[in-house]
Amino acid sequence: MPEEHDLVIIGGGVGGLVTASVAGQLGLDVVLIEREPALGGDCLHYGCVPSKTLIRSAGVAHTVRRAGDFGIDTSPGASDLGAVMDRVKAVIARIQHHDDPDRFRGYGVDVRFGEAAFQDAHTVTIKGERIRGRRFVIATGSRPAVPPIPGIESVPYLTNETIFSERQLPARLAVVGSGPIGTELAQAFARLGSRVTLIEAGPRLLPKDDPVLTAQLQEHLLGEGVEVRVNTRVASAETAGDAAVLELDHDTACEARTFDRVLIATGRVANTESINPQAAGLTLDRDGTLEVDNRLRTSQRHIYAVGDCAGPYPFTHMAEYQAGIVISNAIFRLPRKANYAVVPWVTYTDPELAQVGMTTTAADAAGLDYERATFPLADVDRAIAEGETTGELRLLIHNGRIIGASLLAPHAGEIIHELALAITERVPLRRLAGMIHAYPTLAQIGKRAAGGYYAPKLFSARTRRLVRWINRLLP
Ligand SMILES: Cc1cc2nc3c(=O)[nH]c(=O)nc-3n(C[C@H](O)[C@H](O)[C@H](O)COP(=O)(O)OP(=O)(O)OC[C@H]3O[C@@H](n4cnc5c(N)ncnc54)[C@H](O)[C@@H]3O)c2cc1C
Ligand SMILES: NC(=O)c1ccc[n+]([C@@H]2O[C@H](COP(=O)([O-])OP(=O)(O)OC[C@H]3O[C@@H](n4cnc5c(N)ncnc54)[C@H](O)[C@@H]3O)[C@@H](O)[C@H]2O)c1
């Protein structure tokens, strides 16, 4: 019988790596198993890092194109996608140092490469070798979900796993699905010079975000030349030489359109089949993620799951947060529950779209009686100076406190954290209104929205009468 390790972690992405580094440094006997030849997972190799690096190059192309608006004379050249992707690779390589297997071995973690599958609830096999553990953490992530479009398999479509290997800028790019992946990459490729058509089956892009702000973002993308086709399904696909013909089905009308490349960005499926969940007696939810309780224990209490394979939020910061919950429960043996009340998320378009706390959909579903405080970016001095005035802050207020914030603005992903702290710490809105914010910053939008909320009360007839009365009475 092979020795029994304290902790066996399957998956070397963010969720697995955070758990492994803490468990190893605390002196546990830890094995970390990754099926790819390198650690880092989707975020580093095919997700956050390459996408944000590409978005940066696209932003530079956009700024050069707009240079005349700022009084700078430049002649925009063509984008060299090969050079852009070389930079993407260089950035991945630089960040990869943090995920060097030797770094983890230095923490006492036994790093193994190969695909792990459960043989029973205490044993996994990797390349024919059996590894036994007292506890397990499954952190196997997710992969692109490809919709059952007739003919799609005959088209050499791209996903997030292949698009960052492209070297030639496609003249005509179809992006199917307008979640964060589709919307971010649609804008980036349009800015680099592709003619992009963003195809969304639902009535609007980014369906999990505030509809008023997604409508503003949609207008902004249209203004940059992205063709946005909502309520549109791809009815069929076929190859035509090096190109692909998609039949776009919009209500009753059908239209055949030719594209040089097709990116599929229609959601994710959890990587759970390869681990042979049945052999360990693990239960899956209907969407294919592992069923976990609020301490992230699966149906087998000694097996935990974190990140995209567990849900409910497929974000890197969520995998990291959940790893912290598992460290508490499985390593320190301190019962700790995951709390998803204040989860920030950001779509890195330009302007960025950020959300934290309750959306209106969630607040309506909870039957909350809330008020709104909003402020347009076009009235923020710094935004005017920057020439970036598309956007708005929308706050949901309940009992004088912020319960949700949605922000469309440049750097919204940075600004949203002030509001995340206010929601987490239940800071009264009047404190935000009274706090000194440096001028001129985009972050002033929070103070302005809060101030706007109190303005009708401050300048009411009653307050004006009171002020006049005080000023007559007092010397
Ligand atoms: C294009 C794109 C952009 C994104 N941008 C952002 C962003 O800006 N911000 C953000 O927060 N999130 C972003 N995400 C989401 C983010 O990448 C994921 O939420 C995150 O990577 C999840 O981490 P994880 O540890 O759960 O899984 P992963 O990072 O996917 O790691 C899972 C690992 O498990 C391995 N594995 C799978 N099965 C087995 C097996 N049987 N045996 C051994 N190893 C196995 C895989 O090879 C992989 O390395 C983006 C995703 C995509 C696709
Ligand atoms: N900035 C970020 O944090 C970031 C960036 C990228 C990805 N991610 C994570 O990865 C997850 C997956 O992203 P995603 O954008 O692939 O998925 P998603 O599930 O968020 O969005 C998919 C979109 O595709 C549409 N769709 C589905 N099937 C379709 C079809 N056949 N034709 C046309 N449209 C169709 C859906 O209506 C939806 O709007 C996200 O939910 C997010 O959590 C995060």
Contacts of 123 (CB under 8 A, 6+ apart): 130, 131, 132, 133
Of the residues 315, 322, 355, 356, which should be mutated to test ligand 2's pocket, given the most ligand atoms within 8 Å of the CB?
315
How far does residue 249's CA lie from ligand 2's centre (Å)? 19
Which ligand does the CA of 162 lie closest to?
1
Q: Which atom of ligand 1 is nearest to the CA of 11?
A: 34
Rounded CA separation 422/434 (Å)? 13
Q: Which atom of ligand 1 is nearest to the CA of 39?
A: 49
The residue whose CA is least distant from atom 4 of ligand 2 is: 180
Residues with CB under 6 A from ligand 2: 147, 176-182, 184, 199-202, 207, 233-234, 265-268, 314-315, 345-348
How far does residue 228's CA lie from ligand 1's centre (Å)? 28
Task: Give me the pLDDT at residue 475, please.
Answer: 84
The residue whose CA is least distant from atom 7 of ligand 1 is: 48
The residue whose CA is least distant from atom 6 of ligand 1 is: 48
Phi, psi for 229 (deg, rounded to 5)? -115, 100
Rounded CA separation 376/394 (Å)? 9
Rounded CA separation 163/189 (Å)? 11
How far does residue 308's CA lie from ligand 1's centre (Å)? 7
Q: Which atom of ligand 1 is nearest to the CA of 141?
A: 27
The residue whose CA is least distant from atom 17 of ligand 1 is: 43
Rounded CA separation 136/141 (Å)? 15
The residue whose CA is least distant from atom 35 of ligand 2 is: 177
Length of the chain in terms of residues written: 475
Task: Give me the pLDDT at residue 76, please.
Answer: 72
Rounded CA separation 37/16 (Å)? 15
- What amino acid is encoded at 342 in this protein? V
Of the candidates 328, 346, 345, the one whose C-alpha atom is nearest the C-alpha of residue 337 is: 328
Rounded CA separation 416/395 (Å)? 11
Evaluated on CA atoms 147, 148, 154, 155, the torsion sign reads negative
Provide the ipTM: 0.97
Which ligand does the CA of 307 lie closest to?
1
Per-residue pLDDT for the chain (475 aa), expressed as one digit of tens each? 778 999 999 999 999 999 999 999 999 999 999 999 999 999 999 999 999 999 999 999 999 999 999 999 998 778 999 999 999 999 999 999 999 999 999 999 999 999 999 999 999 999 999 999 999 999 999 999 999 999 999 999 999 999 999 999 999 999 999 999 999 999 999 999 999 999 999 999 999 999 999 999 999 999 999 999 999 999 999 999 999 999 999 987 899 999 999 999 999 999 999 999 999 999 999 999 999 999 999 999 999 999 999 999 999 999 999 999 999 999 999 999 999 999 999 999 999 999 999 999 999 999 999 999 999 999 999 999 999 999 999 999 999 999 999 999 999 999 999 999 999 999 999 999 999 999 999 999 999 999 999 988 888 888 889 989 999 999 8
Rg, the chain, Cα only: 25
Which ligand does the CA of 179 lie closest to?
2
Residues with CB under 6 A from ligand 1: 10-16, 33-36, 41-43, 46-48, 51, 115-116, 139-141, 160, 181, 271, 274-275, 307-308, 314-317, 319, 348
Task: Give me the pLDDT at residue 309, please.
Answer: 98
Q: Which atom of ligand 2 is nearest to the CA of 208?
A: 20
Task: Give me the pLDDT at residue 249, please.
Answer: 95
- Other beta carbons within 10 Å of 342: 17
Task: Give me the pLDDT at residue 253, please.
Answer: 87
Q: CA separation (Å) from 53 to 47, 89, 95?
A: 10, 9, 12
- Give the containing element (helix H, strand E) for 49: helix 48-65
Q: Which atom of ligand 2 is nearest to the CA of 232?
A: 33
How far does residue 450's CA lie from ligand 1's centre (Å)? 37
282: its two tokens: 């693990």
Predicted TM-score (pTM) of the model is 0.96
How far does residue 117's CA lie from ligand 1's centre (Å)? 18
CA atoms within 13 A on the CB side of 365: 5
Which ligand does the CA of 51 lie closest to?
1
Burial (CB < 10 A; 0-12, 13-18, 19+), residue 300, is: middle
